[in-house]
Amino acid sequence: MARPSKPERAKRLHRFALFALFTLAFAAVPAAARECPADRIDESVRVRFVNDGDTLTLSDGRRVRLIGINAPEIAHDDRPGEPGGIEARNSLRRLVRKSGQRIGLRFDEERRDRHGRWLAHVFDRKGRNLAALLVERGKAFAVTIPPNLWQSRCLHALEQTARRNRRGVWDMPFWKPVDLDRARERKRLRTGFRLLRGRVLDSVRLKPGTRVRLSGGVTLWIPARDRRYFGRDGMDDWKGRRLQARGWMYRRRGKWQMTLTHPLNVTRLPATGLSDSGPQCLPDSARAASAFNSRKRAMSASNVSRIRSCSARLASMNSR
């Protein structure tokens, strides 16, 4: 086996030195901040300025888009900003400033996007994943776009914590998922990154991709190149279920459409009769409610509470 050339050996040594430096710094970080750690550092760079909550400009002029997240937009040109955009940008600015404007880049499968920006996972001099910190603080959404899948599950897991604690964007009415089953909610649809909920009416597998038709006249489009991440059986099981999806909304032939790139960007919601949270009032709950008095003593406290709640909801529905 031929020995690598001197330039190649020097390059490998440089990468190893960068990774070792970030690893030593990372070891000093509290355990709570060690989220989605680096397995290597490909390049150490200096940041000139922060464009927004997910984009940086380096001292050499390159623009870097953080992989795995999407932050609310700030106002630019004739487009208004989105709620949380300024907060996300300021949060990233503070993180970069605390790192002395020096960051480490970890590249993934695809290094450039269609806009010519560099794509990378970004780490501060303490070894902290900046995308993970933004997601954990509710400043950005986790979003997975193949083929750059490294640490994607970690970012989505962090987002669940932010959502449960209603941090940042998760406490803003603007970012509440649009419920497609409600006509009033559908008026909130607009272009750009959105969260939406709807029931799957049907799906059609075509050569260019799979079309999933939702309630409210919205379509999810899964390109053929990304279909392998979902699996045929998974999508067949969607019919009749309510889903929550995330991605960029756009108009196609006068109708709303969202491109779905990875199963991490879609969640199957509980099958409920009235809402997606709280007790599940299914059709047979009426019989359970009518038999409540005779079975009350044999029931656990949690079951009693559930039946009472369903009884009240059913009574309210019958009175309308």
Q: Using one digit for the tens of pLDDT, what is the confidence trace for 206-255?
A: 999 999 999 999 999 999 999 999 986 567 789 999 999 999 999 999 99
Same CATH topology for 11-73+85-170 and 176-268?
yes
CATH architecture of 176-268: Beta Barrel (2.40)
pLDDT of residue 209: 95
User: Which of 43, 226, 89, 1 shows the shortest CA–CA distance to 234?
Assistant: 226
- Listed in sequence order, the DSSP H helices in 111-168 are 130-136, 152-164
**For residues 292 and 297, what is the distance between their CA atoms, to the nearest angstrom?**
9
Q: Where are the domains of the chain?
A: 11-73+85-170, 176-268, 285-319
Res. 5: pLDDT tops 80: no
- Average pLDDT, rounded, for the chain: 83
pLDDT tens profile 60-86: 999 999 999 999 999 988 889 999 999
Task: Extract long-range pairs of 161-165: CB within 8 Å, 24+ residues apart.
Answer: 161/136, 162/135, 162/136, 162/137, 162/138, 163/138, 165/138
pLDDT band at 17 (very low <50, low <70, confident <90, very high): low
The model scores a pTM over 0.95: no
The length of the chain, given as a count of residues: 320
- Write the DSSP symbol of residue 193: E
188, two tokens: 């909130």
Tell me: domain 11-73+85-170, CATH 3.30.420.40, correct? no
